[in-house]
Amino acid sequence: MNPVSLLLLGVLGLLVIFWIRSLSPKKRGKAVILIVLVIISLFVLLMALTGRLHWIAAIVAGLLPFAQKLFPLVLRLLPFVGQAYKYRQQTRKGSGNRSEVKTRIIAMQLDHDSGVMYGSVTEGPFAGKELGDLSEAQFIDLLQYCREQDTDSARLLEAYLDKRFGDSWRQDDPTGQRDEPSAGNGSLSIQEAYEILGLKTGASRDEIIEAHRRLMQKNHPDRGGSDYLAAKINQAKEVLLKHVVS
């Protein structure tokens, strides 16, 4: 394979990786399976076009005896694999690597490690839909609905759009409106503050400060983060530190 082809494959591979990382965890598994199926299909097509399809048949025939022996073993191991996966998911949920910010219309999550935001709509004409599934026109309609119904939801959605698209989406915003970067109208409950910082109930003062520092490294406005989210993170820290002191 010539260097140009290798370079193109490398660039394509990087684009695919970035695309997968931008998806919510629920969709990453399906995306990986789809990519694997596409690669296998292209490989089989290439072998057929080059007259080497019989090689695949020979390899499959050679592996059949081993597959017959391995299949019962795989069936016996499946329950253990399921338990290991469940344990891993439970560990992730309590690891403090994910923050949750909820408003009346939007439920948003932020992955601490990658900085990727993903969420869903909980109220209105797009209720039940994942933000990653919405088109550009639907985002603008949802933003208009949020501005009419709940200011906090509009600010949170703007933070998501800024994180995902930069400022380019604002060219399609018919009002050109930009909300003030406050943390919202209401005070945070202690539970909401824990969720925003991605901490378990009863976290220590040091854990609160560390979670705040880690989140602000990726969400500070001076580093391309969201004013609204930064204000929420600061507010959550203040609420929890007062709770710890008291």
What per-residue confidence (pLDDT) applies to 91? 46
Domain boundary among 62, 93, 124: 93
Sign of CA dihedral 137, 160, 202, 104: negative
Contact 241, 208 (CB under 8 A): yes
- Regarding whether 154 and 210 lie in a shared domain, the answer is yes
What per-residue confidence (pLDDT) applies to 86? 53
What per-residue confidence (pLDDT) applies to 150? 92
Look at the chain and report how many structural domains it folds into.
Answer: 3
- Regarding whether 103 and 89 lie in a shared domain, the answer is no
- Regarding whether 155 and 206 lie in a shared domain, the answer is yes
C-alpha distances out from residue 35 to 39, 41, 129, 149, Å: 6, 10, 24, 40
Contact 202, 156 (CB under 8 A): no
What per-residue confidence (pLDDT) applies to 142? 93
Say what the pTM is.
Answer: 0.54
- Regarding whether 137 and 225 lie in a shared domain, the answer is yes
What per-residue confidence (pLDDT) applies to 136? 83
- Regarding whether 218 and 204 lie in a shared domain, the answer is yes
- Regarding whether 58 and 44 lie in a shared domain, the answer is no
Residue 17 in tokens: 């990786």
Identify the domain containing residue 82 by its residue range.
53-93
What per-residue confidence (pLDDT) applies to 94? 42
What per-residue confidence (pLDDT) applies to 93? 46
CATH number of the domain to which 202 belongs: 1.10.287.110
- Regarding whether 119 and 58 lie in a shared domain, the answer is no
- Regarding whether 137 and 85 lie in a shared domain, the answer is no
Domain boundary among 93, 118, 153: 93
- Regarding whether 188 and 106 lie in a shared domain, the answer is yes
Contact 108, 119 (CB under 8 A): yes
- Regarding whether 241 and 189 lie in a shared domain, the answer is yes
Residue 38 in tokens: 């596409």
- Regarding whether 209 and 145 lie in a shared domain, the answer is yes
Q: Which residues of the chain have pLDDT under 70?
A: 1-2, 4, 24-26, 53, 60, 63-64, 67-68, 71, 73-97, 176-186, 222-225, 245-246
What per-residue confidence (pLDDT) applies to 121? 94
- Regarding whether 211 and 120 lie in a shared domain, the answer is yes
